[in-house]
A and B are shown apart, each in its own frame.
Chain A
Amino acid sequence: MKLFPAILSCFVYTSLYAQDTSRVIVSRDTLKGVTITKVVPRTLGMEHFSLKEMEHIPVFMGERDILKTIQLLPGIKSAGDGNSGFYVRGGSADQNLILLDGTPVYNASHLMGFFSTFNGDAIKDLSFYKNAMPAQYGGRLSSVVDATTNNGDDEQYHISGGAGLIAARLNVEGPIVKNKSSFLLSGRRTYADLFAKLSRDSAIRKSDLNFYDLNLKMNFRLGLKDELDLSAYTGKDVMRLSNAFGLEWGNSVASLRWRHIYSNKLMSFLSVHYSSYENTTSTLLADEAVSIYSRIRDYTAKAEFLYTANARHETRAGWQSTWHTMYPLLLEGGENSGINNQQQPKRYSLDNALYVNNTWKASDQLNISYGLRATGFMVFGGGDFYRINEDGKITDTLRTGRGEVVKTYLNLEPRVAIRYEVHKTGSLSLAFTRNVQHLHLISNATSANPTDKWIASSNLIKPEIADQVSAGYSRSISGDRYELTVETYYKSLKNQLDYRNGAEIFSNEPIETMLLVGKGRAYGMEWLLKKKTGKLTGWIGYTLSKTERRINGINDNEWYNAKQDRTHEISVVSSWQVSKKWVLSANWVYHTGNAVTFPAGKYIVMDDRLVYYYTERNGYRMPAYHRLDVAATLQLRNSALHFGVYNAYGRENAYSIYFRESRENPDYTEAVQVTLFRFVPSITYNFNF
């Protein structure tokens, strides 16, 4: 249908990096309104950032956002203004495992990616791995973001919250039974569209643009040896242009975890998890609403044991199984829409993993972490499966029953990380990580947008596999005041997917017929110099990297730059405690423009219809991106005021570049750059009682 490509084209807007640190821990204790740093043992592939460094970092519209802040670290590339997702060491946006209390969140972005689903008030800490993930993590190729929700205060009731230009937040917490159990309820809702309601333009008045987040956490201590956690999150985005066109998406996740201590050597964690992500695109066809819906829903059970044999050995072993149900496409139109309602068959799969990881302190200088994750992904029947030829044409249809196992993929994922202290202040590290990914976000042009579709491996779609080797050096300078880390990596990716040219994404054709398969490679070097103490803290990060793909059927089957290939990436983050009351902070980012495809020429069809002609995929560059953000925080009693300006020198960064007939001389063509915004000031008030 002709409108769907249009919708698609519209929404393909949103579209991709240690030190000896591949793990970053950001931590905050909101209970007392003070900042603490989680104590993290200095073991392999781990590093922590105190929240003090993070809390004053200027953010867009004044909304504190941990997921956005980590994108200022080397190796992690923000997708850019107006684009959701982030890219880690050449991976795609769907290759990041984003966990909230251990449950995957399939789309962690709000409002064209300007905000994340992690409400700053509700999140306690966040660990981040870009390599050397321990074996308990799996299912995504490139990184792990493991966020934990705050526990409520089990002694006193508190109300905290805040209001900014775009959203208001409220956080309520307290004991259920004093010193035994607690709750925390945290919510956030944007109100930008309330301003839209004041508009004189009726179409804008009738438009919706909002999102909300709701987090609940309950914690019960059952005696000295047992603890129970209940965590739930739900959030939703609505974007609607009068009644003509809309986009809605949302995640709901929940988990129940039971921790039991058997002895001072053995502990167990048993948990069940639920995660659901759904999105709906709606439009009008012949004045009738047509909606396109897709969803992914997971039920997971996990059991994990932590055994500390002695001061030198710590072993973590466990099992997890997830039942995935994918609703690939449900298309519904009104009677006169000219649409036959379509429903592609649901896809079912069971994702099993068995793992063991041992951390071994071999000597005072040598630490080794090694593990193995064994995965068995079972594709279940129900509906038709296919065989296809090279051109994507179906050659055979396989009818399958509900309980039937159509295909099983078995994989072993070894992980090894070694760290050797060369001298008291410096250490060398080396790691190898293999990850396997069974769920794939199929997106056009490697961009991440909420209408992208999650699909599972099938008889035809093989699991993605990534192998990464990395080596690094880290040292402290002038006591512990400064820290310098340098890390280099090489990553190879297999079974990467992209759409075939001319694929009709909203059609009833099986998705396998529209896909092309290829491989990827990424390599680079990352430098990070941190100043950890003193009135002025912060860091300078620099990444030099290359990210390429080679997909049969694209770019004459030759290697080409992935969209997120940015040669240079710099971030400078600083925070200055001027006085007890005032903190000033600033950050500056610079990166090479994304790789893009621009026309090599043009031609005419149908008398005067201009068509652009393309040769090399992603052979051009967007203009370089840079931006300065500044912020000031005024600490008052029980409250704080934040002032900020995002893009303080008003750089006109290119959101996109398109081509058209020249407005001044229609006999010629011109390139037009779209910039989303220049200065974005913000003011936010936060309180805590």
Chain B
Amino acid sequence: MNRILQLICTITAAGLFTACEKVINAGLHPAEKKYVIEGIITNEDTCRVLLSTTSNFTDDNNFRGVSGAVIQVSDNGGAPVTLAEVRKGVYESLSLHGVPGHTYQLKATIDNHIFTASSKMPDPVNFDALWVGRASVAGRSRVVANVGYRDPQAPGNSYNFVQYVNGEQRPDIFVNNDNLSNGRDVFLALYSPAEIREEDDLKEGDSLYVEMQCIDPNVYKFWYSLNTGASGSDVLATPANPVSNVTGGALGYFSAHTVQYQGMRVVIN
């Protein structure tokens, strides 16, 4: 749900409308399957590429891994390392160590299709703070996670925050860049207008864990455009596929990023 519906709620409360929702059959027809590549390499020795295909809208939401691809990653144009398939559609290497400042190239070959991508791992920016605070969301006060960092003076930094509550990853996307906040202390509340269900609120005693990724601006573009265009919840803007840094016609992204973590037990004052 987004804020427009909040607004509609308010207008409804003002006695003007009675907005209602119902599940419908939108009559979606199946389309040609596309390959999806999700590749990450971090400064913590993770190098993993997921290769899957799209599924039809009426199918279940499970990952549809694709076996038998040749996936190679190279470091700064060096000799490519071939990733081993550890599970269906999941390819990993333990011998690649991501280094900030290096550019990584990905090449995936499957059934005569070749997909390539490249991503430069940015220098890490320190993850300074994690705390919980109150924020007014959808007309009620919620407890939400907040993160803080100091953006460096040089422009061009992008960030992605992944939130885990009691070990479970939250589906919201929290990306930010320094387009409007270059060189500043930045505090972000990790809540998304897309999710306003009460059961998703943080509660006393919850284990909260946040991963901060310093990401390549092209990967920022992917997450940003996914959030605005392909999350399904954006009810009136014309949706579109996220802007991918993978060439060759596959969906997805390849991200070389640094990772840092902060965790805490939620205490509500």
Contact = CB atoms under 8 A, between A and B. Distances in A.
A209 interface: yes
A156 interface: no
Contacts of A196: 10, 13-14
A670 interface: yes
Contact of B55 (A601, A656, A678): A601
> Which of B139, B140, B180, B235 has the most chain A CB within a 10 Å cutoff?
B180
Contact of A620 (B26, B34, B137, B242): B26
Contacts of A207: 10, 14, 139
A507 B180 contact: yes
Contacts of A674: 5, 8, 19-21, 235
A509 B7 CA distance: 29
Given A195-B14, A338-B186, A602 B54 contact: yes
A597 interface: yes
A114 to B, nearest CB: 8
B176 interface: yes
B125 to A, nearest CB: 13
B221 to A, nearest CB: 5
Interface string B216-252: 0000010011111111111111111111000000011
A605 B252 contact: yes
A613 B54 contact: yes
Given A10-B4, A204-B13, A602 B235 contact: no
Given A1-B179, A204-B10, A336-B187, A611 B55 contact: no
A109 to B, nearest CB: 15
B229 A502 contact: yes
Contacts of A10: 2-4, 6-7, 193
Given A2-B175, A602-B61, A667-B60, A658 B136 contact: no
Contacts of B34: 601, 603, 613
Nearest to B137: A244
Contacts of A421: none
B269 interface: no
Interface string A497-541: 000011010111100000000000000000000000000000000
B237 A599 contact: no
B171 to A, nearest CB: 5
B195 to A, nearest CB: 10
Contacts of B20: 652, 674-675, 678
B259 interface: no
A196 B9 CA distance: 11
Contacts of B239: 597, 599, 612, 614
> Which of B7, B53, B225 has the most chain A CB within a 10 Å cutoff?
B7
Contacts of A444: 237-238
A179 to B, nearest CB: 45
A480 interface: no
B189 interface: yes
Nearest to B243: A502
Contact of A606 (B28, B169, B182, B187): B169
A506 B11 CA distance: 26
A502 B242 contact: yes
B181 A338 contact: yes
Interface stretch (A235-243, A359-367, A433-441): A235-243
A530 to B, nearest CB: 33
> Which of A61, A444, A605 has the most chain B CB within a 10 Å cutoff?
A605
B115 interface: no
A676 interface: yes
B112 interface: no
B190 to A, nearest CB: 9
B182 to A, nearest CB: 6
A485 B83 CA distance: 71
A644 B207 CA distance: 55
Given A201-B139, A617-B238, A673 B171 contact: no
Contacts of A5: 224, 227-228
A624 interface: no
A472 to B, nearest CB: 34
A12 B171 contact: no
Interface string B66-91: 00000000000000000000000000
B238 A618 contact: yes
A446 B55 contact: no
B114 interface: no
Nearest to B13: A204
B7 A2 contact: no
B56 to A, nearest CB: 6
A348 interface: no
Interface in A324-339: 331, 336, 338-339
B258 interface: no
A98 to B, nearest CB: 23
A15 B62 CA distance: 35
B38 A606 contact: yes
Contact of A605 (B36, B135, B137, B139): B36
B16 interface: yes
Nearest to A663: B23
B238 A242 contact: no
A600 B55 CA distance: 9
Interface string A281-298: 000111100000000000
B224 A602 contact: no
B162 A606 contact: yes
Interface in A10-48: 10-15
A504 B179 contact: yes
Contact of B7 (A241, A501, A601, A652): A241
Nearest to B140: A203
A226 interface: no
Contacts of B11: 192, 209
A508 B179 contact: yes
A388 interface: no
B228 A602 contact: no
Interface in A55-102: 61
Contacts of A342: 180
Interface in A210-255: 239, 241-245
A425 interface: no
A340 interface: yes
A287 B61 contact: no
B183 interface: yes
A340 B36 contact: no
Contacts of A2: 173-176, 188, 227
Contacts of A286: 146, 187-189
A597 B33 contact: no
B192 interface: yes
B137 to A, nearest CB: 7
Contacts of A666: 61
A422 interface: no
B221 A502 contact: yes
Given A196-B14, A613-B54, A340 B61 contact: no
A447 interface: yes
Given A199-B13, A502-B228, A340 B238 contact: no
Contacts of A506: 180
Interface string B18-43: 11111111111011111010100000
B55 to A, nearest CB: 6
Contact of A339 (B140, B181, B242): B181
Given A286-B189, A620-B26, A507 B7 contact: no
Contacts of B184: 338-340
Interface string A653-665: 0011111111000
B167 interface: no
Given A209-B10, A609-B173, 18 more contacts: A196-B13, A241-B6, A445-B237, A501-B225, A502-B229, A502-B243, A563-B238, A599-B239, A600-B28, A603-B53, A603-B64, A604-B61, A605-B252, A608-B171, A656-B235, A668-B61, A671-B25, A672-B21
6 contacts: A8-B228, A286-B187, A612-B231, A652-B20, A670-B23, A672-B22
Give the 9 A-B CB pairs with smallest separation, nearest first.
Answer: A203-B139, A502-B225, A600-B31, A10-B3, A659-B232, A445-B238, A656-B235, A671-B26, A338-B186
